[in-house]
Amino acid sequence: MTSEPIAPSPYVPGAAPPPQEERRRRRRWPWFAALLLLPLVFVFLAQGLTVQVTPREASVSLSGGPYFPLADRYLVLPGTYTLRATAPGYEPYRQPLLVEAGSPPQVRLTLQPAAGEVTVAVQGVSGTALADAEIELADGQILRADGGPLTLPAGPQALTVRAKDYEPQSLTLVVAGRGRTQTALVQLERRWAELALETDPAGAEVWIDGERAGRRTPARLPVLPGSHTLEFKLDGYSPRRLAVLAAPRQDQTLEPLTLTPAPVQLRLASEPAGAAVTLNGRPVGATPLTLALTPKAPYRLEVLKAGYGPHREAGTAPARGTVTRELVLEPELGELRLSFAPADATLRIDGAPTTNTGPLFQLPARPVTIEVSKPGYVPFKRTVTPRPGFPQALEVSLLTIAEARRAAMTPILSAPDGQTLQLLKGGTFTMGASRREPGRRANEVLREVTVSRPFYLGTHEVTNAQFQRFAPKHRSGDFEGTTLEEPDYPVVSVRWLDAVRYCNWLSDQEGLPRVYTLEGDEVTGFDPNATGYRLPTEAEWAFAARMDEGGPPRRFPWGDSRSPEANRQGNYADDTVRHLLARTIPGYLDGHLATAPVGTFKANGFGFFDLGGNVAEWINDFYGATEEVLGPEGQDPLGPGRGRYHVIRGSSWMLDLRLAFRDYGEDGRQDLGFRIARWFEPQEGTP
């Protein structure tokens, strides 16, 4: 196959183009047509907008959409634009502009002038610049006048200018603005007034309202309006005071003041110091002190101190100046004969220990404090005044702390329920009954007992009214139609446990530590150191009932005879209950069938009522029939450590009359009550 070369075709005018090129040419024609139509569409849809800005030299621009500037107008389509306007010296303007179909074709705006700088010069008297002046703007901002120019908005601005000691001034300042600089001059008026001062002689120091003014007369003194106190001081002259009233800017010339010479000063001291001084018969103080004497005038001086001889003088004061006197007072002595025990105690005189044991002491004739002390003893302190020519004597016996406590014991106490308790200091006595005593029982062991702890014992048995404050529902009942319920009758039909609960209740009322610890219906503890209320121990009851006369223990409440010597000696089993009781006192009448009001009959020698008669009484101790009742030591016995029953002591209106009689039980009876007791203090050796 033979190849032929490709040769260009010759151009022939009027020949048809190739088919592909023809198609490209046809696609371009619509685009060219659209571009030619856009300006016509914009002109057809746009509307005219005129923007007028004051000042006229401002530059205006639009952004945010198509527009066409036309002289001082713009052709714009509806939409949102940003309008900007700027001019030198004015705040720039920039705000959104909404163009809608049919909206006003004109926008007018005025640019606001920019802020200006204002320098406020504040002057006072004679054009003096007041650098510390303050300028308060209308918004409350406070600036200093010397802080440089103020940048303020254009237009009228309200200012208030203040400076110390000047009247404030308010003004309105028109700020030109547009970045321009201005100066405003403010002249303040002074508030003070000037006082012209003069004294004779001159040179007096001036004080105002208690402070130095820094001037000496003659002087001109500026003062603020109001009341003031002026004082003029000059050595050798008495100070002068003057009250003035100053008005704003009202200067005054005061009348010259004549100063008078000051009194002569007498500087007086004494050995010893603290001596009382009288001048011309008038007390003026104690040494050391300074006195004022009238120049060239007579005076009388007296110096006195207890224990020292007086100093008296009379003279004439000099014309001026200061006089100094130092006096030595001569001591005066008195004799004191002093003895004290124990001999090894420490003796102090006016607080200072001394090794002089006396008995003779020469002491100043003035009040002297005597102190005697020793560990374990209560210190003694007393002030005595020795007198010359009149010897005195003083005997001191120190008490141990225990002795002092007992000496200070209160003899009578009042319980919260109104009962009275009386103090007994105890002692040693024989408890029980002799085998030869008629009626003596096996449980009345004869033994020596010591009650060493002071204690208080109720003077009366507890009454129905008192017990019902604790247990309102309790009832004592009646006997053979005779009531036992009267308020002042002794409470009966109470168990030992009821009496113990009542004692704890009394302790709680007074805030005292309880003696008894209870768990339910059982006493689980007894505190012998507690000072709260309790039942008396058997030894305490026997001591109070049998030892009131100080001799041998009494057999019966009225003495040692078998029968009372007369009727109404006490509430015992008398003839009125002979038909009810097995044993009564023949021919005896007490006026009561059963119980009687407490305190009806005479008290015993200690002052206790009804320890024999009326009702028998519950005792604190557990009951024991043998010597264990007394305890192994015989001192402050508390009875057996445990048991079921408790001791009952004392005769009643239906039982045995002997004071040694002992009974026991745990439940209440119609002839059984109780009285209360307390220890004076805890046992020795306990906290």
Task: Check whether 13 has a pLDDT greater than 60.
Answer: no
Q: Give the three-state DSSP class for 118.
A: strand
Structure tokens at 645: 């029953």
Q: Give the three-state DSSP class for 260.
A: coil
Nearest to 570 by CA among 661, 494, 659: 659
Half-sphere exposure of 648 (CA within 13 A, CB side): 21
**pLDDT given for residue 409 in this prediction:** 75
Phi, psi of 542 (to 5 degrees): -65, -40
Half-sphere exposure of 141 (CA within 13 A, CB side): 9
pLDDT band at 43 (very low <50, low <70, confident <90, very high): low
Rounded to the nearest 5 percent, the helix, strand and coil shares of the chain are 10, 40, 50
Q: Give the three-state DSSP class for 579.
A: coil
pLDDT band at 38 (very low <50, low <70, confident <90, very high): low
- Give the strand pairing for 289-293 and 79-86: unpaired
Task: Check whether 1 has a pLDDT greater than 50.
Answer: no
Q: Percent of the chain having pLDDT more than 90?
A: 36
**Higher per-residue pLDDT: 353 or 165:** 353
525 touches 514 (CB < 8 A): no
pLDDT band at 374 (very low <50, low <70, confident <90, very high): very high
Q: Give the three-state DSSP class for 115.
A: coil
Task: Check whether 2 has a pLDDT greater than 50.
Answer: no
CA gap 252, 244 in Å, rounded: 10
CA gap 414, 323 in Å, rounded: 69
**pLDDT given for residue 686 in this prediction:** 47
Tens of pLDDT, residues 134-156:
888 888 888 887 767 888 888 89
Residues in the chain: 687
CA gap 433, 445 in Å, rounded: 7
Q: What is the DSSP letter of 496?
A: H
Q: What is the 3-state secondary structure (H, E, C) of 172-190?
A: EEEECCCCCEEEEEEECCE
CA gap 265, 247 in Å, rounded: 40
Q: Is the dihedral of CA 659, 604, 619, 666 positive or negative?
A: positive
Q: Give the three-state DSSP class for 10.
A: coil
**Higher per-residue pLDDT: 380 or 262:** 380
Q: Is the pTM of this model over 0.75?
A: no
Phi, psi of 594 (to 5 degrees): -125, -125
pLDDT band at 687 (very low <50, low <70, confident <90, very high): very low
176 touches 156 (CB < 8 A): no
Task: Check whether 224 has a pLDDT greater than 80.
Answer: yes
Domains and CATH numbers, the chain: 39-110 (2.60.40), 116-187 (2.60.40.1120), 193-258 (2.60.40.1120), 265-328 (2.60.40.1120), 333-403 (2.60.40), 409-558+566-680 (3.90.1580.10)
CA gap 659, 546 in Å, rounded: 7
**pLDDT given for residue 332 in this prediction:** 86
**pLDDT given for residue 3 in this prediction:** 45
Span 156-162, mean pLDDT? Answer: 89
Residue 647 class from Cβ within 10 Å (0-12 exposed, 13-18 middle, 19+ buried)? buried
